[in-house]
A and B are shown apart, each in its own frame.
Chain A
Amino acid sequence: MAIKEIFDAVLALDEAQTADIVQAELDHGTDVMTILNEGLIAAMDEVGKRYSQGVFFVPEMLMAAQAMKRGVAVLHPHLVGAKARPKGTIVIGTVKGDQHDIGKNLVAMMLECAGFKVIDLGVDADAGKFLRAARKGNADIVAMSALLTTTMSAMGATISKLKREGSNPKTMVGGAPVTQAFADKIGADGYSPDAPGAVTVARRLVAK
């Protein structure tokens, strides 16, 4: 089954093979959305599972994502025709005063691989920036990252501003000093300690 071969090629971290098999399947007439959902996105779900199990680590996640994106690039012209819709829209950024973005970039990548549209605000994003982006992008979720105890407080300020201004996206938070207890305290709708977990949380939040 060629869809399984696409799935396996991504897990083998093989960009070239992934692209070749996706092209072969398109030439064969296989449905674009089937290739995307059951081949590529399903493979990244498995990557996330293996990361949680301690089988895959960050390098494998990154290389698998690159393979998956090569496959998506082959599909891209056909996705427009298939009127593929994202699973949801997520505004993501590192909060005000914080310049760290490695973890945030990893989460953004995994969310894109899961089929979400991601609007990345970069670093040092204040509450106003999150609010404007959420409104403009009609975001379903606002996701915030912070790496330091001195910058975490900006998450609470952003959530308060979103609520005060009548903006209703769900919110999720993450980063090294962030915990579930902190997320609960500031009124965030979700929290994840890692990138694959963030995908699970995002799916749960858009399903509500």
Chain B
Amino acid sequence: MKLKVVENDPVIVNQEQSNIIRFLPGAISAAPEEVVRYLAGSRFKEDPKMHDPLPAAIEQAIHLTSPVLVYRLNRVTALDASGRLIMESGLCLEAPQVERHPDTRYLASCVCSLGAALENACRRLTYRGQLFQAMLLDAAGVSLLDALANKSHELLSQRARGMQLFAGCPFGPGYQDMPMETQSLLFQLVDAGAIQVKLNESLVMEPMKSLSFFVRLSARENRRGPTVKCRRCNLKHCQFRAER
């Protein structure tokens, strides 16, 4: 197996450490049109009956969330011929095609979460027969989670710049050609338990309003493909797809 060895870089990174970032209330917000897209799909034209419940649901969702990110940088020592990123720890990750780049220096393993309070509130609303309110609140939660992932990526990009590196686009288990089973590896690479996120035997994260993803930190800027998430997704006929 021919390996391309990655050059040493001058920035020393403590790879043992999982870094936790807790966001202040109001740091993450949801755009109403995004909430509507997650509730009803991208073809939906907003109904005037949504004018009152929509902002209230967003405000309630913000109040119920405790946004937090944990990430860990793992040094990449090689990219093998099969497209696997070999890490200093000995673990290796089969990266999606578009992420196989020999300039990768670090792999950031990330888990972010809104906490469990919002989904518990949705469940209570459902038990009370208030399904519309439950689904609206859940859609607001999805939008907030998406915003948290974007914010997390911004922070990683800043960290990368501080290391004279470039952050790639997030990619994760179950997306593009990355198998869902990679989730187990991701959870070995970062201490998600530190932010009370666990993985069940079906690889579902609990709380459910959590996201996991990898980001490559590279010596050269080499984002391949579109940066808008929906345009990078394989599900071309998804009803929630942005930018139709």
Cα(A174)–Cα(B200), bound, Å:
22
Give Cα A98 to B180, complex, Å: 14
Asked whether A57 lies within 8 Å of B43 as measured between CB atoms, the reply is yes
**What chain B residues lie within 8 Å of A102 (beta carbons)?**
134-135, 138
CB of A62 within 8 A of CB of B135, answer yes
Contact of A101 among B47, B126, B129, B181 (CB under 8 A): B126
Contact between B40 and A59, CB atoms less than 8 A apart: yes
Inter-chain CA distance A13–B43, complex, in Å, is: 20
Q: Does the CB pair B40–A97 fall under 8 Å?
A: no
- B49's partner among A13, A97, A98 (CB-CB below 8 A) is A13
Alpha-carbon distance A151/B44, docked complex (angstroms): 30
Are A150 and B126 CB-contacts (below 8 A) given A59-B39, A59-B44?
no
Given contacts A98-B202, A151-B204, 6 further A-B contacts (CB under 8 A): A58-B40, A63-B49, A105-B131, A150-B180, A150-B204, A151-B202
23 sample A-B contacts, Cβ–Cβ < 8 Å, listed by A number: A13-B47, A57-B44, A58-B41, A58-B44, A58-B135, A59-B44, A60-B47, A62-B131, A62-B132, A65-B132, A66-B132, A97-B200, A97-B201, A97-B202, A97-B204, A98-B204, A100-B208, A102-B138, A105-B135, A106-B131, A106-B135, A148-B180, A150-B180
A109's partner among B41, B49, B131 (CB-CB below 8 A) is B131
Interface pairs A-B: 6 shortest CB-CB? A97-B202, A62-B132, A57-B40, A57-B44, A150-B202, A151-B202
Which residues of chain B are near A81, meaning CB under 8 Å?
none
Cα distance A65–B135 when bound, in Å? 13
A101 to B124, CA, bound (A): 13
Question: What number of A residues sit within 8 Å (CB to CB) of B?
Answer: 25
B40 cross-chain contacts in A, Cβ below 8 A: 57-59
> How far is B208's CA from A102's CA once the two chains are assembled, in angstroms?
12
Residues in B whose Cβ lies below 8 Å from that of A77: none
Contacts of B12 in A (CB 8 A): none
Answer whether residue B206 sits at the interface, using C-beta atoms and an 8 A cutoff. yes
**A residues engaging B (CB < 8 A)?**
13, 54, 57-60, 62-63, 65-66, 69, 96-102, 105-106, 109, 148-151
Q: Per-residue 0/1 for B119-145: is the Cβ within 8 Å of any A Cβ (1 yes, 0 no)?
A: 000010010010110111010000000
Whole-angstrom CA separation of A57 from B132 in the bound complex: 12
CB-CB nearest in chain A for B138: A102
- How many contacts between A and B, using CB within 8 angstroms? 70
Does B50 belong to the interface (CB within 8 Å)? yes
Q: Are A58 and B39 in contact (CB under 8 A)?
A: yes
Instruction: State in angstroms the CA–CA spacing of A90 and B138 once bound together.
Output: 26
- Which of B126, B181, B208 lies in contact with A105, CB distance below 8 A? B126
Distance A90 CA – B77 CA, assembled complex (angstroms)? 55
Which single member of B39, B123, B129, B180 contacts A149 (CB below 8 Å)? Answer: B180
In angstroms, Cα B21 to Cα A166, docked, is 53
- A105: which B residues are within 8 A, CB to CB? 126, 131, 134-135
| Complex contact B129–A69 (CB within 8 A) | yes
The reply to whether B41 and A57 contact each other, CB–CB distance below 8 Å, is yes
* Residues of chain A lying within 8 A (CB to CB) of residue B138: 102
